[in-house]
Amino acid sequence: MNKRLFWKLCLIIGTGVVALFYVINMATSQIENDMSMLNEADVRELEAWSDEAESLLLQGQRAALEEWLEELQHKENTWAAVASANVQHIAGNHSRFDDYTGYNMGRSTEWKIHLYFEENPHYGAPFF
């Protein structure tokens, strides 16, 4: 085998290996990104909960809001509360409010959930 053929084969193999790793990297990045987002049905459900809480709050039905939040927490086995923009408790479970300061109560449903966290993130559904 002459040297020219040898170097052509090395170049072809090297290019193939780089291309293979590039494709694998792109595929895993895309799959991880897709798995890191909430699906649309879950986002709609969170928005429906937000609309219900907002409706009860705007109607001045604090007792009904407290009851609805209690039922939601029991049904979904989760923590739910209503807070003002400056993280002042309005209604719902107060047990975790001490964990939050400033404007970090919840995150947007459009953000990734980050598969590497030990605990699920807390989502916020703002009232408009």
Rounded to the nearest integer, the mean pLDDT of the chain is 81
20 and 58 share one domain: no
High-pLDDT (> 70) share of the chain, %: 72
Tell me the residue range of the domain where 115 lies.
39-128
Task: Report the alpha-carbon distance of residue 28 to residue 89 in Å, rounded.
Answer: 41
Q: Are residues 31 and 5 in the same domain?
A: yes
Exposure string over 14-50, b if 16+ CB within 10 A, otherwise e: eeeeeeeeeeeeeeeeeeeeeeeebeeeebeebeebb
Q: What are phi and psi of 43, to 5 degrees?
A: -65, -45
Instruction: Pick the more confident residue, 75 or 111.
Output: 75
Please return the burial class of 69, using the count of CB atoms within 10 Å of its CB with bins 0-12, 13-18 and 19+.
Answer: buried
Looking at the fold, whether 101 and 72 belong to one and the same domain comes out as: yes
In tens, the pLDDT along 97-127 reads 555 555 555 677 777 776 666 666 667 777 6
- d(Cα 49, Cα 69) in Å, to the nearest integer? 9
Tens digits of residue pLDDT in 30-47: 988 888 888 889 889 888
Q: Which two tokens stand for residue 107?
A: 């995150």
Structural domain count of the chain: 2
pTM: 0.61
Same domain for 116 and 66, yes or no, is yes
